[in-house]
Structure 1
Amino acid sequence: MHGELPAVSIVRRLGDSPRQRGSVTGETCPDLFELSDGDFAVIGTDRTEELDALLPESAARADCERIVVITRDTLLRAERDIPDA
């Protein structure tokens, strides 16, 4: 089919799992994953409506993009797993 995206899979989690970060209820589980195509997937809170108007003039967001927020702790714990290149 025309326009079909190639199959992508999750290669690994970056940082600690939500449970390791203290989330036992499943209600707040931001997460970061490396994908097989080299991109990264983020599970976070969609705050597009709140933050869109606050973006600096040098930033842009396409209609298909969302502003997703993750906790500072999630990113700091993932830092060790983020490749340099």
Structure 2
Amino acid sequence: MNNPNARSHKEPIDSLIIYKKRTDISNLDPEERDYLESYERGEWISDLTPERVKELQAYARVTLEEREKEREGKKEIIDP
């Protein structure tokens, strides 16, 4: 079964977006990361519901935001 929201293989791929996605999901459990990546490629994953995909994506966004805040906080301490 195909995912109607999956990107077409004919669309151009932006390497920066791919890098950012890798950063976003790097803290996920390896199994969940594999599921999320497969789902985003349009592959059918029976173990992941759309709700769970949204949860994983939200977790990844929050993780990235927290990392950025930590980096900014360290910069302020080093360079007041």
Normalising by structure 1, we get a TM-score of 0.28
Normalising by structure 2, we get a TM-score of 0.29
More helix by share: 2
**More contact order relative to length (CA 8 Å, sep ≥ 6):** 2
More strand by share: 1
